[in-house]
Amino acid sequence: MRRPVIGIATQTLPGVPGERQPCWLMGRSYVEELRKVGGVPWVIPLVPHDEDTLNEIFSRLDGVFITGGVDVDPARYGEPKTPLCGTTDPDRDAVELMLLKYAMAHELPVLAVCRGIQILNVLGGGTLYQDVTAMVPAALKHDYFPTPDQPSRKYLAHDITVKAGSKLGAILGDAVVPVNSMHHQAIKDLAPGLAPTAFAPDGIIEGVEGTGEQYVIAVQWHPEELTDTQPGMKRLFTTFIDAAA
């Protein structure tokens, strides 16, 4: 059988005069995890001004994977950008929104992680906390970003509670699951058309899925870092690839 082709939008790396021209890049762990379970990753350039080229790429895809990365521009959900918001990438926002709109219109399977759950929510009309710690007084610490002293992306920061009867629950196989946590933003107002399926102990939404038959699953953590230790995380990728195939 032909292996399913999975689209992944990139992120802008600004140029450095005399050292590096502007680049598009994407983390290897995302690409490797898709490859290992039988997908053919297609890394998509950020050319929102060239819809013809993007549509040619989109037409060849069997599934869409949205990764972690920089913050979504608050203008996309109707808010001014505050100092709490970090770096944004307007071209990435534009291309991912176009990619997700195409996926929804053509019922392509969608798997999204970290920033991915946020841009999916924004696509549907939802909003985001620009900084969870500052905007949710009772929030846990969620921003366990790697540092030179603690470089691991596998650190299990907290548990999530998974909704019984959900697609995500069937995939993960447990009602309570430990996860890593590398984000400072999160879903505030949930978009219509998405159902919440997992929660952190402080109530922050950590998982959503579509309400129809289409495979649409998004999580706030980074399952690509946990597939070697948690079978449920591996099943997130295998079920996605199965749906794309």
Comparing C-alpha atoms, which of 122, 21, 13 is closest to residue 74?
122
pLDDT score at 150: 82
pLDDT score at 51: 97
CA pair distance 186, 218, nearest whole angstrom: 12
CA pair distance 145, 143, nearest whole angstrom: 6
Comparing C-alpha atoms, which of 114, 145, 128, 138 is closest to residue 84?
128
Fill in the amino acid letter for 199: F
Q: Across-strand partners of 8?
A: 43
Q: Which domain holds residue 137?
A: 5-244
Q: What are phi and psi of 94, to 5 degrees?
A: -65, -45
Domain tally for the chain?
1
pLDDT score at 151: 79
Report yes or no: 61 and 41 within 8 Å, Cβ to Cβ: no
Catalytic residue list: 114, 222, 224
Per-residue pLDDT of the chain (245 residues; tens, 9 = 90+): 899 999 999 999 999 999 999 999 999 999 999 999 999 999 999 999 999 999 999 999 999 999 999 999 999 999 999 999 999 999 999 999 999 999 999 999 999 999 999 999 999 999 999 999 999 988 999 999 998 888 799 999 999 999 999 999 999 999 999 999 999 999 999 999 999 999 999 999 999 999 999 999 999 999 999 999 999 999 999 999 999 99
- CATH number for the domain that contains residue 193: 3.40.50.880
